[in-house]
Amino acid sequence: MLNPVALWFLLLIPPVILLYFLRLRRKERTVSSTMLWEHVVHDLQANVPFQKLRRNLLLLLQIIILIVLVGVLVRPFLKLAGLTGDNLVLVMDASASMQSTDEGGSRLRAAQSAASKMIDDLSRRDQAMVIEAGARTRVRSGFSADKRQLKAAVNAIRAGDVRTNLRDALVLALSLSRGRKDIHIYLFSDGAFDPLEDLQLGNARVHFVKLGKRCDNAGLTALDVRKTFTEKAGYEVFAGISNFSGQLKSCNLELYRDGALFDVRPVTIPAQGSTGVAVSDLPFEQGLIEARLDLKDDLKADNAAFAYLAEQRDLHVLLIGRQNFFLEKVLNADPKVHVTKGTLGNYGANTGYDVIVFDGRAPDQLYPGSYFLINCAAPGGPVRVVGDAQDPTVLDWEHNHPITKYANFGEVAIAECLQVELEPWAKALVRAETTPLVVLGEKRNLRVIFLGFDLQHSNLPLRAAFPIFMANSLGWLARDVGRQVNVATRTGQAVPLDVQEETSAVEVQTPDRRTVKVPTHEGQALFDETDLAGPYKVTQGEHVSYFVANLLDRRESNTMPRERLELGRREIAATGSSGQTNREIWRWLALLALGVLCAEWFVYHRRL
């Protein structure tokens, strides 16, 4: 009872009973006989003080009404399962793994059902906020007590083919709830994300509502199209498949080009293992490639992946530097790359070349364009030379960047290199102990790749990584002229679009056939609605191009639900969607009192 003092009102019961002991003042009337008035005589006897009361339904009903009304005043409550806290934040995981169907429907649907039930349990003074945690964080509803609005916000959430960015969602939840008391954050997720060790939760209490029952899933975790450096100089498709279940899985890997099946490969993936499939000598040099697993499991989002093999246009390269057999050999390996040797005197603002390579000799100025600087640095470039370093050892490199992808720098030996410092707009791709070895820099109208050592003073030209690295570099530098082999990105990432000079707006058609208009600004456009895996069609006037977005994420494909989360310095165990809450029932008692009062009125008038 929230107001037990009101029990003192039960002392009104004796006065009510006493009223039935009091003699009533009655008017005297003369009648011819008392035979028809015997019940009145009995009533008179009952109203004589200190006489035993006879059974009286009205008295019983009036005592019940009084007891029930006192029950209303003491505000009784029941300990029920429900929400706790006055200010609640419902964070809904909308990543790819939440599409798993091991909950009967999808995990997200089960989360929405649980969240809607929790919203129904809100008391009048409680407020809640709804946040969607996908590739980007969205506030679906600010703090509100409107249950209809909150439930509509929860049900509007859709799971994308993306990994979740839970850190941003929790940081936003903590920021928006700052200054409010009794904050409880309910995280609806299967836990498919890395530990967030640097997160500061403060005084907020986080509850992990676990979704998912099992992991019965295998999926594509890698897909790429790359040039082969054989005599045929064709292309090959590589697909990586992982099995995250506890059972061996066998299925077919189907390969399509522009919707037409061109190859089928049977694959067997061991339990908790991976396998790879390479299809060489593709019978085409351009088109949309789809890899599809003929497999039924809990998650469909990772059973298909895409690659777009763009038409390879001729590339004109100007090579400035001393005689370098290895460099000239690798640049001429592609018949569509036309190399012209020149001197610094041939270099100017309007050379007409797609890429300019400086080997050991740097210009005094970098004009707008694409450059590959080998063992030299130029003013306005991404690095500043501060000295030399002897016998540097490669410590690490970006394994998934388009420039260094598939290029293994682990066994590269270097005699000496340039010691450099990075400009703010530069990014290191390969690092030694004290200096970066490979750096890229990109700003408007200028793209630069810097290689900080002499090729002839290293064993890189003798490694398989060399032709791969050079082909990747040329493709990245000349992507405006159609030199990217596979025009692909990860779902959820923003994609910079190459804008034609005469275009004021770009139209992008998504895999679900929606058309999105992307405004341009100073010759640039950024498209960020890549939540669905599949092909995207970019239209600029009469110019049409394509790119694809893929999930290819082991963390999302591993659909085993987690039992614990590591947030900041806390370890949070999975709980139910509710705790213990005080549910007041005085409204039901008030309705009961009204019903008894109506019954008392009916009995009284029936007697009359």
| CATH code of 286's domain | 2.60.40.10
Predicted pLDDT at 19 = 75
Lowest mean pLDDT among 285-289, 333-337, 443-447, 581-585: 581-585
Determine the average pLDDT of the residues in 235-258.
94
What phi, psi does 383 have (nearest 5°)?
-135, 160
- Alpha-carbon distance 127 to 132, whole Å? 17
Which stretch, 3-7, 190-194, 559-563, has highest mean pLDDT? 559-563
Based on the domain organization, do 340 and 454 belong to the same domain?
A: yes
Are 163 and 135 in contact by the 8 Å Cβ rule? The answer is yes
Give the range of the structural domain holding residue 244, as residue numbers without chain letter: 227-309+552-556
Residue 491 lies in a domain: no
Predicted pLDDT at 536 = 95
Residue 525 lies in a domain: no
Residue 198 lies in a domain: yes
- Alpha-carbon distance 218 to 248, whole Å? 10
Residue 188 lies in a domain: yes
End-of-domain residue from the set 464, 481, 498:
481
Determine the average pLDDT of the residues in 265-280.
94
Determine the average pLDDT of the residues in 476-484.
70
Short-list 318, 379, 333, CA closest to 233? 333
pLDDT digits (tens, 9 = 90+) for 125-147: 889 999 999 999 999 999 999 99
Predicted pLDDT at 109 = 96
pLDDT digits (tens, 9 = 90+) for 37-93: 776 666 655 555 555 556 678 778 888 888 888 888 888 877 655 555 578 999 999
pLDDT band of residue 520 (cuts 50, 70, 90) is confident
Based on the domain organization, do 279 and 358 belong to the same domain?
A: no
Structural domain total, the chain: 4
Q: How many CB atoms lie within 10 A of CB 490?
A: 18
Based on the domain organization, do 69 and 104 belong to the same domain?
A: no
Predicted pLDDT at 291 = 96
Based on the domain organization, do 51 and 138 belong to the same domain?
A: no
Predicted pLDDT at 231 = 58
Based on the domain organization, do 114 and 182 belong to the same domain?
A: yes
The enclosing H or E element of 137 equals: strand 137-144
Predicted pLDDT at 370 = 93
Predicted pLDDT at 33 = 77
Q: H helices then E strands: how many in the chain?
A: 10, 33
pLDDT of 245 above 90: yes
Based on the domain organization, do 569 and 433 belong to the same domain?
A: no
Q: Could you give the percent of the chain with pLDDT greater than 70?
A: 91
- Alpha-carbon distance 75 to 86, whole Å? 19
Mean pLDDT over all residues of the chain? 87
Lowest mean pLDDT among 378-387, 474-483, 555-564, 584-593: 474-483
Q: Could you give the percent of the chain with pLDDT greater than 90?
A: 52
End-of-domain residue from the set 556, 571, 596:
556
Determine the average pLDDT of the residues in 479-501.
77
* pTM, entire model: 0.70
Query: 3-state DSSP call for residue 162?
Result: coil
Residue 513 lies in a domain: no
**Alpha helix ranges (H) inside 465-585:** 465-477, 554-557
End-of-domain residue from the set 541, 556, 571:
556
Tokens in use for 164?
């979740």
464: number of CA atoms within 13 Å, CB side? Answer: 8
Based on the domain organization, do 203 and 330 belong to the same domain?
A: no
Lowest mean pLDDT among 107-111, 231-235, 307-311, 461-465: 231-235
User: Which residue bears the tokens 């090959």?
Assistant: 236
Tokens in use for 132?
């969607």
Are 108 and 94 in contact by the 8 Å Cβ rule? The answer is yes
Based on the domain organization, do 260 and 238 belong to the same domain?
A: yes
Determine the average pLDDT of the residues in 249-268.
95
**Alpha helix ranges (H) inside 20-76:** 38-46, 57-73
b/e sequence 62-92, b meaning 16+ C-beta within 10 Å: bbbbbbbbbbbbbbbeeeeebbbbbbbbbbb
Based on the domain organization, do 249 and 207 belong to the same domain?
A: no
Predicted pLDDT at 41 = 64
Based on the domain organization, do 43 and 151 belong to the same domain?
A: no
Determine the average pLDDT of the residues in 151-173.
93
Based on the domain organization, do 353 and 450 belong to the same domain?
A: yes
Lowest mean pLDDT among 23-37, 151-165, 395-409, 483-497: 23-37
Based on the domain organization, do 241 and 201 belong to the same domain?
A: no
Are 577 and 186 in contact by the 8 Å Cβ rule? The answer is yes
CATH number of the domain within which 567 lies: 3.40.50.410
Residue 500 lies in a domain: no
CATH number of the domain within which 463 lies: 3.40.50.880
Query: 3-state DSSP call for residue 313?
Result: coil
